[in-house]
């Protein structure tokens, strides 16, 4: 099956693209043999074992063994016997991802709310729901996640089992320890998210930053250019980034890679008005005005909208006005795109990635915003010679937060499909 990006009217459908390279075409990213086979089936299934061997560079005997292990664990299934083109050649039994038994669950913890989601093993969002925080105390937020998961699974799981829960949030996250090291907007420090949720839900829990999670999602079933080299720039309540180099998502020795919130982009207003905005609370948590977060974050956007006379209290309301064509709202998003473009130009020059993915709803839903952002990149970047090719919107516009959490778990599965997954061990 080929993968292509979903349309705005079909955001929950699995992505299918025709331009996916062979699963083994990137020799720089080391994956297990079983993981390589699972990736080839995700990319190209239903697919013959002989084709998997050609795609991955593994021997036919090895591919048969890996497929047998994946079949035993219920991750793939065999299709009906198929003849070769025009009926020529020996018939073969193709394999494809089995979506009938298992799901992965996701939780994205944002500043104002949690997004819970269910994703099938092809990356398709099955269900999602948003729950506003009743308070930001860690125990309270995590308890609501744990309570919401079984309800979502009962309502939308169709009898399938959740293999794991993936959790994503902004700022500094240590996936190895399973902790949120520091999230200033939530006031969290050293929160043991993995242990708390694993104990409360009884399923394996994986944690990562939302930008790294979305980079992994792009690699698995999003933009093909992100597989080898990419920057993912996330612009929301939190502003941060992820970097893909040599096929791997970079984390850093302290797992702090991606903190771009305080890049200086200059203020979008005069010095006097910038000073007034800072005194009114427009400055970032770093204490200064004019950094990326203070200029383009969702609270900054809502504040500017109110100053311009728009009757909004939430970012979603402002986005709806812009999509409907309100000129003030549209200009605010175009201004946001220009400032984001300044940061994008810096990141392009620093890392020279094949693709820079912008996760920002204006660029995903308003063509004029992407045009503004690319124009800013072309004016400022020294290395980007084709912004239309190198700067792209998220593959998951409309389901970004739902995808982020679940992609943490699905990425872990692809990294180690034969690992200690309790639900899979029960099958085999």
CA pseudo-torsion sign 395, 398, 404, 410: negative
Query: Predicted confidence band at 17 (pLDDT cuts at 50, 70, 90)?
Result: very low
In a 13 Å sphere around the CA of 66, the CA atoms on its Cβ side amount to 25
With a threshold of 0.85, does the pTM exceed it?
yes
Burial (CB < 10 A; 0-12, 13-18, 19+), residue 426, is exposed
Q: What is the mean pLDDT of the chain?
A: 89
Higher pLDDT: 318 or 5? It is: 318
Q: What average pLDDT does range 176-199 have in this prediction? A: 97
pLDDT of residue 96: 98
Considering the chain, what percentage of its residues have pLDDT values greater than 70?
85
Mean pLDDT calculated for residue range 179-203: 97
User: Across residues 131-143, what is the average pLDDT?
Assistant: 96
The whole-number pLDDT of residue 29 equals 47
Q: How far apart are CA 121 and CA 100, in angstroms?
A: 9
State residue 271's pLDDT score. 39
Average pLDDT over residues 168-185: 97
pLDDT score of 366 more than 80: yes
Residues paired with residue 207 on neighbouring β-strands, in sequence order: 167
Residue 172 has pLDDT above 50, yes or no: yes
257-284 per-position pLDDT tens digit: 999 998 988 754 433 344 444 434 455 6
Q: What is the mean pLDDT of residues 296-321?
A: 96
Q: Angle between the 49-56 and 33-44 helix axes, to the nearest 10 degrees? A: 120
pLDDT in tens, 89-132: 677 899 999 999 999 999 999 999 999 999 999 999 999 999 99
Task: Give the pLDDT confidence of 35-65 residue by residue, as tens digits.
Answer: 999 999 999 999 999 999 999 999 999 999 9
């Amino acid at each position: 099956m080929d993968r292509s990006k979903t349309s705005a009217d079909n955001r929950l459908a699995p992505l299918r693209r025709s331009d996916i390279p062979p699963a083994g075409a990137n020799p720089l990213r080391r994956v297990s043999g079983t993981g390589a086979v699972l990736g080839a089936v995700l990319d190209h299934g239903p697919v013959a074992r002989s084709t998997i061997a050609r795609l991955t560079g593994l021997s036919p005997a090895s591919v048969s063994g890996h497929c047998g292990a994946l079949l035993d664990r219920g991750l793939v299934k065999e299709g009906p016997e198929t003849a070769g083109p025009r009926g020529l050649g020996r018939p073969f039994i193709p394999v494809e991802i089995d979506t009938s038994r298992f799901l992965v669950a996701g939780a994205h913890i944002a500043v104002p709310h949690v997004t819970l989601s269910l994703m099938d093993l092809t990356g398709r969002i099955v269900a999602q729901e948003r729950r506003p925080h009743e308070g930001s105390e860690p125990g309270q937020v995590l308890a609501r996640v744990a309570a919401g998961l079984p309800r979502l699974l009962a309502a939308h799981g169709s009898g399938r089992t959740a293999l794991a829960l993936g959790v994503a949030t902004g700022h500094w996250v240590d996936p190895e320890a399973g902790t949120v090291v520091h999230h200033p907007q939530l006031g969290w420090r050293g929160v043991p998210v993995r242990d708390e949720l694993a104990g409360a839900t009884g399923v394996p829990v994986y944690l990562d930053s939302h930008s790294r999670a979305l980079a992994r999602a792009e690699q698995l079933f999003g933009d093909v250019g992100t597989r080898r080299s990419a920057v993912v720039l996330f612009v929301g309540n939190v502003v941060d980034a992820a970097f893909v180099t040599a096929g791997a998502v970079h984390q850093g020795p302290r797992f702090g890679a991606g903190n771009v919130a305080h890049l200086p982009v200059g203020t979008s207003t005069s010095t006097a008005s910038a000073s007034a905005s800072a005194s009114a609370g427009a400055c970032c948590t770093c204490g200064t005005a004019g950094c990326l977060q203070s200029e383009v974050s969702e609270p900054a956007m809502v504040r500017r909208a109110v100053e311009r006379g728009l009757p909004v209290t939430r970012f979603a309301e402002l986005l709806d006005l812009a999509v409907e064509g309100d000129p003030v709202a549209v200009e605010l998003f175009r201004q946001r795109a220009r400032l984001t473009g300044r940061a994008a130009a810096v990141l392009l020059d620093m890392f020279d990635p094949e693709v820079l993915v912008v996760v920002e709803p204006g660029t995903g839903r308003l063509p004029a915003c992407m045009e503004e952002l690319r124009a800013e990149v072309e004016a400022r970047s020294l290395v980007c010679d084709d912004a239309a090719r190198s700067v792209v919107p998220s593959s998951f516009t409309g389901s970004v937060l739902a995808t982020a959490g679940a992609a943490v778990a699905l990425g872990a599965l692809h990294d180690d499909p034969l690992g200690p997954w309790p639900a899979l061990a029960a099958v085999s």
